[in-house]
Structure 1
Amino acid sequence: MPRTPTPVARVLVVPSFRDWVSKILFHAAAVCALALYTIAAHAQLAEPTELVDQQHCMFCHTSDAPFLAPSFHQIAERYRDKPNASTLLEDKLRHGGKAHWGDMAMPLPDDRGGPLSAEDARTLVQWVLSQ
């Protein structure tokens, strides 16, 4: 005698309203956290105007177009993700140095507006890298 298949009970599991709301809130929180991280990662710092003026940065640089030296945006693009870039650029600001971008060297501090403290150099570099 042939076997007839026995019907299998199928149960439809419907998540509770609380589970549904919890999942929605979790995903919304994750999206908000990602958005805040993205905004913070690309936030541009306020220009340290007094330092920029004191060091005569705008004599050679502009914000977005090369002039006598690369723009701040170009510098940020080149160095933003490089390890130890801050240290290299801070040293270049504090001591001047040979050209490693085009033909123009970074002028010595005395030719730019005077010595620059490590803290002021760090402030300028962080601002440039935030461009």
Structure 2
Amino acid sequence: GMSVMEMSHRGKEFISIYEQAEADLRELLAVPAHFKILFMQGGGLAESAIVPLNLSQGGAMDFVLTGSWSQKSLKEAGKFGTARVAASAQADGFTTLPAPATWQIGSDSRYVHICGNETIHGVEFHELPDL
């Protein structure tokens, strides 16, 4: 067999896989025909730009810093609006999570960013905070 990564993106086999994946996703999420579906690579770093590009509209965004990934997201979001630190665990070496009651979330915040699983520092939200 052959991995999809070894196939030509113009080959019949790949085109068939791509078209089926798009059709399945469109059906699963009820994506209307006039919407495009974009498959892309990028992982967490790409998401650090995609989220503020779609949600900030140039406004303020609040970040809870719990490690390396949330720091990267804060830096990237600053390119698209006002990125603020609502809480930080940096003083503890990113070994704890800031208590939600201590978070300083602005009333003008377009969204609050948390990294649910900071894999580099080994901290994780087991439940989403009730804000």
Shorter-chain TM band? under 0.3
TM-score, normalized by length of structure 2? 0.23
Q: Which has the higher contact order (CA 8 A, sep 6+)?
A: 1
The structure with the largest helix share of the pair is 1
Higher strand share: 2
TM-score (norm: length of structure 1) = 0.23
